[in-house]
Amino acid sequence: MGQKADLVLDVKSQLGEGPLWLADQGMLAWVDIEGRCIEFLQLETGERRSISVGARIGAVVESEDGRLVCALQNGLHYLDPETEQLEFIGDPEQDLEGNRFNDGKCDPAGRFWAGTMPLSGPEASGSLYMLDKDGEIHRKVQDIRCSNGLGWSLDGTRMYYIDTPTRRIDVFHYDSATGEISERQPLVEVPSELGSPDGMTVDAEGKIWLAHWGGSCITRWDPATGKQLDKVELPVSQVTSCAFGGKDLDVLYITSARVGLSEEKLAKEPLAGGVFSYIPGVKGLPASRYSSN
């Protein structure tokens, strides 16, 4: 407990989210939701690239065909990283202009899950969706206030999920063959002094690493007991998500945000919006890619 993370890049993302390790390129990607772009950092050379997508972007994942899949405010799209051109897949909420997509991730079977949230207000107008391999988008959970972190157990029978205002990590029974989820139950209750649960990832031992919005930390939890195992402090309050990367998947990369912070707060948190790293002594798992029929 009480370890500290190191700065990787003082990028000052407005709302940095969704770190993703692109193993084939040795590159870290993440989104800046309010900056409406995907950021890329080549770890060995320090070379940077940014792709503007023209709309708020909640998440990005790799597709098996080499493209990226993006969850934008105006629906799900393919993105060709070479041409930077978008190809529309579908928008399940075209009638809900006050919502946007937030966090998303591929399950081990290659389906893309992403959820929505209202741009403002406490309404539970969000939902969690699944983009199936046939390109169809299915609503899996509704009445969500802020759809956030996702993860799966090592044996593929459970899905972990966060609706941030509940202050919980919930667990569903998950059927990897069909993508069906059922039997939602609370798994972890996050203490108020740790801020609100945001993005998460699962390590190679099946434990959950959780980012804390307003909590200046990431934590590690045992899903078998619901107990906290570790805590890593950051010099920024709005910690948004984490993902394993590096050639051995032994580095935890952490995103953060500066949106909504006062000038006084920003003076105390000059690295807000930066990307950080931590060596946890445990490895992660390769990010699953979207697999279409």
Distance of alpha carbon 267 from alpha carbon 252, whole angstroms: 26
For the segment 92-148, what is each residue's pLDDT rounded down to a tens digit? 999 999 999 999 999 999 999 999 999 998 899 999 999 999 999 999 999 999 999
Strand ranges in 125-216 using DSSP code E only, listed in sequence order: 126-131, 137-144, 147-152, 158-163, 168-174, 181-189, 196-202, 208-213
On whether the 3-278 domain is CATH 2.120.10.30, my answer is yes
Distance CA 241, CA 264 (A): 24
Active site residue 163: no
What percentage of the chain's residues is helix, strand, coil (to nearest 5)?
A: 5, 55, 40
136 DSSP assignment:
-
Compute the residue count for the chain: 293
- pLDDT at residue 1, as a whole number: 58
Which of 112, 115, 107 has its CA nearest to residue 68?
A: 112
> In one letter, which amino acid is 165?
P
Count H helices, E strands: the chain? 1, 25
The whole-number pLDDT of residue 122 equals 85
Specify the pTM.
0.97
What is the DSSP secondary structure assignment for residue 190, as one 8-state letter? P
Per-domain residue ranges for the chain? 3-278
pLDDT attached to residue 293: 79
Which H helix or E strand runs over 279?
Answer: none
74 is in an annotated binding site: no
Q: Is 198 annotated as a binding residue?
A: yes
Query: Which of the residues 32, 103, 163, 198 is marked catalytic?
Result: 198
Task: Please give the DSSP secondary-structure letter assigned to residue 179.
Answer: -
Residue 121: what pLDDT? Answer: 86
Low-confidence stretches of the chain (pLDDT < 50) are none
Quote the CA–CA distance of 197 and 167 in Å, as a whole number: 6
- What lies within 8 Å, CB to CB, of 253 at 6+ separation is 8, 19, 21, 28, 30, 242, 243, 244, 245, 275, 276, 277
Dist. CA 215–CA 229, nearest whole Å: 16
Task: Consult the annotation and say whether 139 binds a ligand.
Answer: no
Whether 1 contacts 21, CB under 8 Å: no
